[in-house]
Structure 1
Amino acid sequence: MIDHELRKLRLIDWGLAEFYHPGKEYNVRVASRYFKGPELLVDLQDYDYSLDMWSLGCMFAGMIFRKEPFFYGHDNQDQLVKIAKVLGTDELNAYLDKYQLELEPQLEALVGRHSRKPWSKFINADNQHLVSPEAIDFLDKLLRYDHQDRLTAKEAMVRTCLLRASKGSRNQQDEKSMKLKSERSVWRDDDD
């Protein structure tokens, strides 16, 4: 849950949490629909921690684009359609082929064909102050169909530190730039 005004994030709903054991097949009826990874929506039962990284990507996209939930499907099938409309169907089909999965004909027809949308399509006047190239790169590495291509939790933590560092250096540069502009205007005022 996110409270933008108070700048608070609360992680909730641990009811279906369980320990991960490599090679174990898990139930795909887990996770809140809006944060479900593609592996759950295509019935891949051999999933792992990378599922949580997808969910993080969904939350992060919702925060930076101010669109919550970011993928707003009305049911599990529609959820996959919403994802495909953003990430494209070429990547979805490559993912399905890699793991020898097939969509049911009805779901395949629902998903249709879509090209990948650039993340810039989601930037507008209301959210542009929340988006940076580093944030887009971070998001792009989380929201991947192939769970093996997503950032790990450790890699994500390193990137978040880099995000903060780059934001801090940008803020320092902005402050220096503002100070320099201020000094220039003082000089101009003195010349009058």
Structure 2
Amino acid sequence: KLENVMLGSMDPPEAIIIDVGLAELFPPHKADSHRSSAPTGSIPTMAPEVLMQNSSYKCDVWSLGCCLFGLFCRIPLWFPGKDGTPEVYPYPFAPPKSDARPDLEDYLRRQKVGPDLANTRCSGQAPSARDLISKMLSFSEQARPSMQRVLAHQWPKL
């Protein structure tokens, strides 16, 4: 999630990901076949297959896609925080109302429909960013690009 990305230096710009306490390492030589049943992470950036407890390394591509959406989000949602004060929610899918199965199934249905990319700043100025976010948020894990393909996409090179 965006709260876990810190700026390490300004010149050259360097992003550092923090708070990876529940991270799972996928063995490089088994990355294509290794599966995880551990539902860890934050709901706002959690890939559908993580919610279904059968994920691969591509769940991280989804999470990064959620963060990119948040960076380009035009009008974020607002929800009450733990203390009742409003908190900004820039992620592509409104969170489930609860952890109850019907609410999680509804959340999965919304993920399957896909994000509202019209609510991003990348429609006119950065159509290649919109293309990349759309691909990274593919509900189908097989259709989602690998991180190598994400890095090879034209948008990060612009």
**Which structure is higher in strand share?**
2
Q: TM-score, normalised by structure 2?
A: 0.64
Tell me, which stretches of 5 or more residues in structure 1 are unaligned? 89-115, 168-192
Q: Match of 2:21, SS?
A: coil
Any residues of structure 2 matched to 1:4-43 within 5 Å, and which?
9-21=15-27, 22=30, 23-41=33-51, 43=52
Instruction: Tell me the equivalent position of 1:140.
Output: 134
- Whole-angstrom CA distance in 2 between matches of 1:19 and 1:164: 25
Q: Which runs of 4+ in 1 moved over 6 A?
A: none
Contact map agreement 1:33 1:79 (CA 8 A) in 2: no
Tell me, which stretches of 5 or more residues in structure 2 are unaligned? 77-88
Instruction: Tell me the equivalent position of 1:81.
Output: 106
Structure with the greater alpha carbon radius of gyration: 1
- Whole-angstrom CA distance in 1 between matches of 2:116 and 2:16: 29
Instruction: Tell me the equivalent position of 1:163.
Output: 155
> Residue 144 and residue 129 in structure 1: after superposition, are their counterparts in 2 closer, same or farther (change >3 A)?
closer
Contact map agreement 1:35 1:59 (CA 8 A) in 2: yes
Q: How many residues align?
A: 130
User: What percentage of aligned pairs have identical amino acids?
Assistant: 22
> Residue 34 and residue 157 in structure 1: after superposition, are their counterparts in 2 closer, same or farther (change >3 A)?
same
Q: TM-score, normalised by structure 1?
A: 0.54
- Whole-angstrom CA distance in 2 between matches of 1:36 and 1:76: 13
Contact map agreement 1:37 1:54 (CA 8 A) in 2: yes
- Whole-angstrom CA distance in 1 between matches of 2:50 and 2:42: 11
Q: Match of 1:55, SS?
A: helix
